[in-house]
Structure 1
């Protein structure tokens, strides 16, 4: 088990005694962080803009019992850098992580579970990791978790989960391309060869098991579903049947390359009138899983539940981001604005919405504050605790947030958002645009010519933020960079 890396000023201290860092003795809340993958901003049926075909009674249940954030953001429009920002509470660009393959999660960075372990928490990671690390540096057990059940890559087959599946597809090389294979448990693997084995169900069942059986310690669980990420064309019959669909034919290496297959099935290279239905079947499984987790959590006292998406919904699966423009991969609102719900019975007024501007960076300071961690021993972070918003002690509608993908950047301050795309990328054309999101949430009216001073102000904010940050680094480069600061 890792020992915690606590920062006091510029001095690194390794703490081994949990009693020295808690503010006071108190009943520690259980904390369950549920992260969906590529969930559409509108694809929750409690929302007024939700399409009529969406039915998410369990997510709706969570919203009825908690606080929904209308202006919540990921730190990136793709999962790897966004997840690094989430787990550390720090802009991942601090160590050169801007996009896929940049920076990873260096061992030097302190994570939520590394802090919580010093308070006696039992930390469990279930599902997707995707930190772009190298070898064990990518592994949750290297970053404060005591148990891990899931996979390390950016995606995984929902149904091909055994060594037999690897053999069927022609060996390890093909299996790596198609993301076939067993589920990882800590540093070992477990085969699931049952025709009804499905990652969403497996992750749900494992989460419920840990919730029920963790009784002597407070629990921190990071439940990171791969739903509703591609390949949504893979499902099991009990979820397909209500939508009248069947799975697409699996990849056959004898007839085409994996890139050819995936470009057609996963990247909209061919028409599929059932694509939205496949997404909805995947969402249905996710929602039912969340319901089982909520049922188990209801039997535990004092449980904080956070539900969010890692980034915006993707065009490739027909996720719906209404009324936002754009999608995953882009700096448009549809790429970076995310669903976020927080529920804490007895602590949060039920069924409330807020327009406060918040970030995934805020999850760490929120969790540390509710657990009573001594904030003076927390390394410099970029997030802010959400407790003042939760308790209605403070409104934060003039927040400044920044995004940088290396090929473009954006700044939101209050109602204003400046987007600068340096070169055409991800169907987002190069150029500069300024939007007033309060009046133009769809980002249709570019005001840069009328609001020259606002463009200058937001540009200066970005330039100041960018100082002392490296450009994109490989994971190995990031380790060396962190060692110098």
Structure 2
């Protein structure tokens, strides 16, 4: 097929109003996870208060479906990634609050089925390019497990095989880094080996062991290039799953030279534009591959925009500075990364799949990033084991414009400090008097918790806890059941990884 005919064909496929399931073919799946990208940072999702151009993501939205009420399972990084890959809430693991570090040991148990492992069983090639941040089995030169955030050039055996990472948990291939770009070690990893050794110390916010040639500013483009390379290696005869957890626009905020000053809104906005360009680069590779028709591209974020984003070059005003310029990174939602309010965990969620999703559509149902596993099971016409995906519900029906059939009564939200909220329908119960995170705001009334009608009050300003105690009691009972059963979906009860989970930690005892 020549280039012009191929372009015409792709346009017809992408915008066909008669999009239907590719019943005889398993779809390719590309899952792009931005890091700290707010719901309002994508211009088409925030047309009135979004000032950053994002043509790559806007184009995907126009060619597919936007989920307007999608949530990460946590308002910070590591826990959300655990939920995505396992279909299980992060607080069922040993990590009850905060995040892991670059030298932390693995969080996902070796016998836990992941999305990658499940799809590999269904005949998929499984690849990952980007940031892991779920712990690795690193060892010191004397064989002891590493831990924490600090480590020098002599703290790790750089030649040893890396255990407990992506290739031990279902991925055929991985190229990326251990954790965030502000967390050492600063070195690339390919499959289960470091690419070289750390021989010097560098600081991209935190000092730590680094490869002499590693520069944080290059990482986003390396992820884009490696993702394109992986896509080009795929063929029509075998489905593939590619997980692309980006390092941006998380701090350190380092757009490359072509993007510096591009937004005229400061370096954070420049970095969002750079991030969008990498999304567009990956999309273009799919379009050029001849596999676009049956390739599902999902773009989302691990949590809301962070307070540490810079408003302008040299300015540290963060979110407030951007708002003065007319840009609201978390749209009209209260709070930001780390918080239990929606600004902490309501995230962009865009799906383009020409063979299965009608262009220009949207879905207003509540979904969670834990839902990838059950969705993959439905798309491949396979049943999940009872011991996997305990908190995962398929959103596949929504892709066809149908209601999501869920045995899960609600979605659990979780903050950086380990505080809980529960969303069921229009109601949201927050078991704390404040944000549960970095936002220093507290309720002014004497209610022990918060209750909001998210349809009437999406900005979470009018606390209805006292006027609707029966709703609060019902949601609390549902949350308690979801916690104690070890699962929130239908199926046999499962265990949590710790004996007792304190979901009331944010409520002061009288």
1:332 is aligned to 341
Pair 1:445-2:437 in alignment = no
In the alignment, the residues of structure 1 paired with residue 44 and residue 418 of structure 2 have an alpha-carbon distance, to the nearest angstrom, of 36
2:378 is aligned to 369
2:165 is aligned to 139
In the alignment, the residues of structure 2 paired with residue 396 and residue 218 of structure 1 have an alpha-carbon distance, to the nearest angstrom, of 26
In the alignment, the residues of structure 2 paired with residue 296 and residue 40 of structure 1 have an alpha-carbon distance, to the nearest angstrom, of 25
Q: Map 1:1-400; keep pairs closer than 5 Å.
A: 26-49=24-47, 51-101=49-99, 104-135=107-138, 136=162, 138-156=164-182, 171-172=200-201, 177-178=206-207, 181-182=210-211, 191=213, 198-215=218-235, 217-232=238-253, 234-243=254-263, 277-298=266-287, 299-301=289-291, 302-317=294-309, 318=318, 320-375=329-384, 379=388, 381-394=390-403, 400=410
In the alignment, the residues of structure 1 paired with residue 273 and residue 250 of structure 2 have an alpha-carbon distance, to the nearest angstrom, of 13
Shifted more, 49-58 versus 277-286: the winner is 49-58
Count of residue pairs brought into register by the alignment: 406
Q: Map 1:381-420; keep pairs closer than 5 Å.
A: 381-394=390-403, 400-405=410-415, 407-420=418-431
Shifted more, 437-446 versus 96-105: the winner is 96-105
2:261, 2:267 within 8 Å by CA — same for their partners in 1?
A: no
- Going from structure 1 to structure 2, the CA distance change for 1:156 and 1:30 (only over 3 Å counts) comes to farther
Q: Determine helix, strand or coil for the equivalent of 1:464.
A: helix
In the alignment, the residues of structure 2 paired with residue 361 and residue 36 of structure 1 have an alpha-carbon distance, to the nearest angstrom, of 16
Shift of 1:211: 0.4
In the alignment, the residues of structure 1 paired with residue 230 and residue 198 of structure 2 have an alpha-carbon distance, to the nearest angstrom, of 29
2:412, 2:420 within 8 Å by CA — same for their partners in 1?
A: yes
In the alignment, the residues of structure 2 paired with residue 377 and residue 449 of structure 1 have an alpha-carbon distance, to the nearest angstrom, of 39
Shift of 1:352: 0.9
2:41, 2:330 within 8 Å by CA — same for their partners in 1?
A: yes
CA RMSD after TM alignment: 3.3
Shift of 1:311: 1.0
In the alignment, the residues of structure 2 paired with residue 425 and residue 142 of structure 1 have an alpha-carbon distance, to the nearest angstrom, of 33
In the alignment, the residues of structure 1 paired with residue 390 and residue 354 of structure 2 have an alpha-carbon distance, to the nearest angstrom, of 28
2:371, 2:395 within 8 Å by CA — same for their partners in 1?
A: yes
- Going from structure 1 to structure 2, the CA distance change for 1:377 and 1:212 (only over 3 Å counts) comes to farther
Q: Determine helix, strand or coil for the equivalent of 2:171.
A: coil
In the alignment, the residues of structure 2 paired with residue 176 and residue 39 of structure 1 have an alpha-carbon distance, to the nearest angstrom, of 19
User: Which of structure 1's runs of 4+ aligned residues deviate more than 6 A?
Assistant: 160-167, 478-481
Shift of 1:58: 0.6
- Going from structure 1 to structure 2, the CA distance change for 1:311 and 1:42 (only over 3 Å counts) comes to same
2:304, 2:330 within 8 Å by CA — same for their partners in 1?
A: yes
- Going from structure 1 to structure 2, the CA distance change for 1:312 and 1:391 (only over 3 Å counts) comes to same
1:36, 1:309 within 8 Å by CA — same for their partners in 2?
A: yes
Relative to the length of structure 1, the TM-score reads 0.76
Q: Determine helix, strand or coil for the equivalent of 2:300.
A: strand
Point out where structure 1 has 5 or more consecutive residues left out of the alignment: 1-23, 183-189, 245-275, 471-477
2:255, 2:274 within 8 Å by CA — same for their partners in 1?
A: no
1:120, 1:217 within 8 Å by CA — same for their partners in 2?
A: yes
In the alignment, the residues of structure 1 paired with residue 337 and residue 263 of structure 2 have an alpha-carbon distance, to the nearest angstrom, of 25
Higher helix share: 1
In the alignment, the residues of structure 2 paired with residue 177 and residue 52 of structure 1 have an alpha-carbon distance, to the nearest angstrom, of 31
Relative to the length of structure 2, the TM-score reads 0.72
In the alignment, the residues of structure 2 paired with residue 89 and residue 143 of structure 1 have an alpha-carbon distance, to the nearest angstrom, of 14
